[in-house]
Structure 1
């Protein structure tokens, strides 16, 4: 798979167009904000979305695991949209997940949407430390390098008189925010107050995600 090389915390990471991040040295795949089952959650409130998100997201995960064969999969929060979302995961999905868990260690960082949900076979944590890196859904005060999610970052790009927003990887010197791996998720401008309060406004490394390529601004 094509990737964009990113150096963060003196480590080599690969950013993929499917919005996953690969930590080369530790053969670890990282994703965030899948929001599995969002459509079924919205449907209970009579807000109807295409009901295919769970299948598509799980297929994205399975394809990545087949191609990369990581030792670890770290999910940096909001694996599920809410407790109702578990109803969208079928028995065969659980069987497929169990098969992949035989070769890959699944590490689930709890997010604000799924903090009270349990799934058999998933190790779950509030945050998770590896060497000088902390994996957490929302950044916290720490001297460690952080890899997190929550904000679903997007960047505004103007070209030939047109302005579009593209999903983006973004980091400063210490904090790396992943894009949402989900398919029914919105996003925040990287220059919004919420993200600027975390990353600041200057010296940002920005990587917009195209259909088949991750770019560097």
Structure 2
């Protein structure tokens, strides 16, 4: 399991290369912004015609992380579905796949701005969740502490071998973690954006996802 281990408010956590967060002591896997059904929603409104395989790809990676970690609890940090009613529009195969992954696990859906109401699929649906010492919600709140959230889809832009690359990343400071988007068809907000620079402390770190997760100072300077 490729991961970067770190401690956040006395909780020993693992940032996985996939963009999931694992809390071994709780056997808890956290994922954010799955955006199940994005290709279906875009197709229905006449948007970009994307290959309709995003949900399957996301579920494949999620299943692999669940097997690798042995997680018995799962928290989905909001925007798990790309629209409030998209769950009922997913193919039956994908709905059954989600149900199978939920079997034998405590599964919590945190509400997001794309899916503010109950999702109609098994599991518990809540606005936010306190699991001492941490609190889980979709959008970071000013002044919060011990907070893990998603929503912003953070990405770090940095030079590599003479060119610029962009990698989804976790943003971490002493008060909060902002998680990367886990879904296949999700874009991202650069860490040098005003929103993220204003949210994160000056000494914040970015944990890059990918084959070898690595922690670097959060990139804040705009690169050409």
TM-score range, shorter chain: over 0.9
Q: Secondary structure at the match of 1:114?
A: coil
**Structure 2 counterpart of 1:161:** 162
Q: 1:126 to 1:92 in 2, by over 3 A?
A: same
Kindly tell me the number of residue pairs found equivalent between the two proteins.
Answer: 215
> After superposition, what is the alpha-carbon deviation per residue over 1:166-197, rounded to whole angstroms, capped at 9, x for unaligned?
11111111010000001111111112111122
* In structure 2, distance between residues paired with 1:160 and 1:65: 34
1:46-57 equivalences in 2 (<5 Å): 46-47=46-47, 48-57=49-58
Question: Which stretch of the first structure deviates more once superposed, 49-58 or 87-96?
Answer: 87-96
Alpha carbons 1:37, 1:84 under 8 Å: kept? no
**Structure 2 counterpart of 1:214:** 213
1:54-93 equivalences in 2 (<5 Å): 54-93=55-94
**Structure 2 counterpart of 1:30:** 30
Q: 1:143 to 1:44 in 2, by over 3 A?
A: closer
**Structure 2 counterpart of 1:195:** 196
- How far off is 1:165 after superposition? 1.2
Alpha carbons 1:168, 1:179 under 8 Å: kept? yes
* In structure 1, distance between residues paired with 2:58 and 2:88: 15
- How far off is 1:108 after superposition? 0.8
Alpha carbons 1:54, 1:88 under 8 Å: kept? no
Which TM-score applies when normalising by structure 2? 0.90
Q: Secondary structure at the match of 2:168?
A: strand
- How far off is 1:84 after superposition? 4.8
Alpha carbons 1:106, 1:123 under 8 Å: kept? yes
1:99-178 equivalences in 2 (<5 Å): 99-141=100-142, 143-178=144-179
Alpha carbons 1:135, 1:147 under 8 Å: kept? yes
* In structure 2, distance between residues paired with 1:129 and 1:64: 23
- The CA RMSD over aligned residues, in Å, is 1.6
Given the alignment of the two structures, is residue 14 of structure 1 paired with residue 25 of structure 2, yes or no?
A: no
> After superposition, what is the alpha-carbon deviation per residue over 1:108-154, rounded to whole angstroms, capped at 9, x for unaligned?
11000000242231201111001121100011245530000000000
- How far off is 1:91 after superposition? 2.5
Q: Secondary structure at the match of 1:42?
A: helix
**Structure 1 counterpart of 2:4:** 4
Q: Secondary structure at the match of 1:155?
A: strand
**Structure 1 counterpart of 2:222:** none
Alpha carbons 1:16, 1:213 under 8 Å: kept? no
Question: Which stretch of the first structure deviates more once superposed, 95-104 or 170-179?
Answer: 95-104
Where does structure 2 lack aligned partners over 5 or more consecutive residues?
217-224
* In structure 1, distance between residues paired with 2:56 and 2:85: 16
- How far off is 1:160 after superposition? 2.7
